[in-house]
Chain A
Amino acid sequence: MSFFPAFRGAGRDVKIAVCIKQVPTREWQPRIDEAGTWVREQDVSYELNEPDAYALEEALRLRERHGGEVVVCSAGPARVQQVLREALARGADRAIHVDGQGIGALDAAAVAEALEAALREEHVDLVLTGLQSDDQGHAQMGVVLAERLGIPHSTIIMQVEVTDGRVRVKRELEAGWFQWIEMPLPALLTIQSGINQLRYATLKGIMAAKKKEIRQVAAGAPRPRHEVVSLAVPTRSKETAMLTGSPAEVAAELVRRLSDEARAL
């Protein structure tokens, strides 16, 4: 069923792969390209996808508890080495860059296809990734990757316990509900933001990262499942009254409108 060897046994090291994505920063103001189907990439400044940062942190904590190795993996053009280097500085042991120019704009299923081969070779016990990316937001990549690797998965995870070749996880449900799920290793988990407190790279970590390996592998030609026909600034569903002026003027106008127009005070 799985290409992975049997889990190496109780009390032993846990080898973890973390799939991370480089996404535009939150402050980035999007500009659409001339074709109207993607953003102007030359304008974009990038950062590590926040849910993936939590997945990385969880992997580092599992390594501290059980021993083992943390391998970070990202698919995309040369620029994604920035987030791989950052992950190494935070404490990952080594990195794999699945190199492909067009991958940044591909959908989640295609990215999973691009990552699959590199992960198969690694024979890890656990694959972690964020529950979704802050750019395209499909919330699919991890689950598709688990299916392609033939390993069980669980999503939107808030706690991870590894024991005796199995993993027990706290899965978040909607509206404040949770549930414990158990499955054998190897397994894939998508991690929810807030599962832990993030650590940031120390100067020592940044120096050490310079000596760590980023192995490059070619991405192949993954098959897209989506085609973006057009991209646009969303139209407002409501008529929004934008109030302008000094803070005092705006406040006076807002209180007047909330009282007289909206009757909300």
Chain B
Amino acid sequence: MTLVVVEHSAGVISRASWEAVAAVQSVAPDGEISLLLLGSGIGELAAVAAARGVGPVHVVEDAALGAYTPDAYIFAVGAAVAALRPRLVAMAHSYQARDYAPALAARLGAPLVSDVVGLRLENGELRFRRPMFQGKLAAEVRAVGDAPTFVALQIGAFRADGVKSRTDGGASSPVERLTVDFTGFTNRQTAEPPFREARQAVDLSQAERIVAVGRGIKAQEHIAVAERLAVALGAELAASRPICDNGWLPMDRQVGSSGQTVAPKLYVAVGISGAIQHLVGMKGARTIVAINKDPDAPIFEVADYGVVGDLFEVLPAFTSELSKRSR
């Protein structure tokens, strides 16, 4: 049996969790998939999950699981794994999974393959495809160690709408309560409620066109080169994480897993190598232009149009060509 740990916040199951379900449906060795839902007061959510008809929904409810902490999740998911004995435990490679899954797998002596973008069976054995070296290479790996195998799937690598129902005619899968005995459990972490630093001043998700700059811009004073292109295109200016870390552009202009997710008509990536943390935030753009001096930069894998060259030569030429056109 394959167990998918379903993540939720504010009463909604994350889209990435459905992507994880879709990812394992094609390779679940015996076709059997169960979902695991943890929390406090999640009866309604369990019904919503069951309505998708992918397989039984196992629910662990306890006050200790009300606010996420790694200690409580390691304990509860560990107990569920011991009770249900899955061969494969799948989840989205979310910040939450990164926080608890490596410790849980280590506790069980089990392998965890993370950031997985593809799965296949080779003579009944699972093979996992994952990026390495900042996406410059793709590795196929097999897991070594005790059962079960844990797999964390890269967000956005699979399609949530690919989830198949097993109950033709729309019947719900059963919801099964799993009792986990929390006596003797001590939680070392205390979690305060999540908050946002400040209201997002710039909503990049609504932008039609975006010019985004990365490390290749080299210095803060060069941002103006990209800014002129943005003006000529009628685009918002955005950046990859390192630019915002350096304070060259404000944090609310960051695109990527820790920033905003965007889907503009046009996305021009300037001096951005295309680390996966950036790609997950922009690969939904309709047309992507990449300008980079490195012909092997992973950004070209998602680009529709690629220019290998010096951005300090290409950008001014691009800007002046656009202004010719508007005259």
Contact = CB atoms under 8 A, between A and B. Distances in A.
A228 B305 contact: no
Contacts of B88: none
Given A174-B258, A226-B141, A233-B138, A240 B70 contact: no
Nearest to A148: B106
Query: Is chain A's binding surface mostly helix, strand, loop or mixed?
Result: mixed
B137 A39 contact: yes
B289 interface: yes
A241 B190 contact: no
B17 interface: no
A181 B190 contact: yes
Contact of A175 (B101, B141, B260, B265): B260
A176 B260 contact: yes
B130 to A, nearest CB: 8
Nearest to A224: B144
A135 interface: yes
Contact of A226 (B69, B111, B134, B325): B111
B307 A250 contact: yes
Contact of A177 (B137, B194, B308): B194
B99 A179 contact: no
A172 interface: yes
Interface residues of A, number: 82
Interface in B89-134: 93-95, 98-103, 105-107, 110-115, 127, 131-134
A264 B302 CA distance: 16
A240 B305 contact: yes
A236 B135 CA distance: 12
Interface stretch (B19-27, B45-53, B174-182, B309-317): B309-317
B139 A262 contact: no
B325 A255 contact: yes
Interface stretch (B57-65, B220-228, B293-301): B293-301
B197 A176 contact: yes
A206 B132 CA distance: 32
B192 A109 contact: no
Contacts of A135: 132-133
Nearest to B135: A234
Nearest to B67: A179
A183 B114 contact: no
Given A147-B103, A177-B195, A251-B318, A30 B137 contact: yes
Interface stretch (A59-67, A68-76, A92-100, A137-145): A137-145
Contacts of A146: 103
A122 B98 CA distance: 26
A58 B323 CA distance: 46
A112 to B, nearest CB: 7
Contacts of B190: 181-183
A184 B95 CA distance: 22
Interface in B226-273: 233, 241-242, 244-245, 251-252, 257-261, 265-266, 273
A110 to B, nearest CB: 10
B320 interface: yes
B209 interface: yes
Nearest to A27: B294
B321 interface: yes
B184 interface: no
A163 B318 CA distance: 54
Contact of A140 (B112, B195, B294): B112
Contacts of B144: 223-227
A247 to B, nearest CB: 4
Interface string B141-159: 1111100000000000000
Interface stretch (A11-19, A82-90, A150-158, A211-219): A150-158
B304 interface: yes
B141 A228 contact: yes
B290 to A, nearest CB: 8
A241 B300 contact: no
A67 to B, nearest CB: 25
Contact of A255 (B102, B252, B258, B318): B318
Nearest to B188: A152
B266 A264 contact: yes
A264 B138 contact: no
Contact of B302 (A29, A30, A179, A237): A237
Name which of A139, A148, A223, A224 has the most chain B CB atoms within 10 A of its CB.
A139
B138 A258 contact: no
Interface string B199-236: 01000000001000001000000000000000001000
A241 B304 contact: yes
A26 B245 contact: no
11 contacts: A39-B133, A139-B93, A141-B102, A154-B99, A156-B95, A181-B190, A228-B139, A234-B138, A236-B300, A251-B314, A255-B321
A-B CB proximity, top 9 nearest: A194-B245, A251-B317, A225-B111, A140-B102, A152-B188, A143-B102, A147-B103, A264-B266, A247-B317
Given A139-B93, A194-B245, A233-B136, 10 more contacts: A109-B106, A136-B132, A181-B69, A181-B189, A225-B112, A229-B139, A231-B132, A240-B300, A255-B325, A258-B305
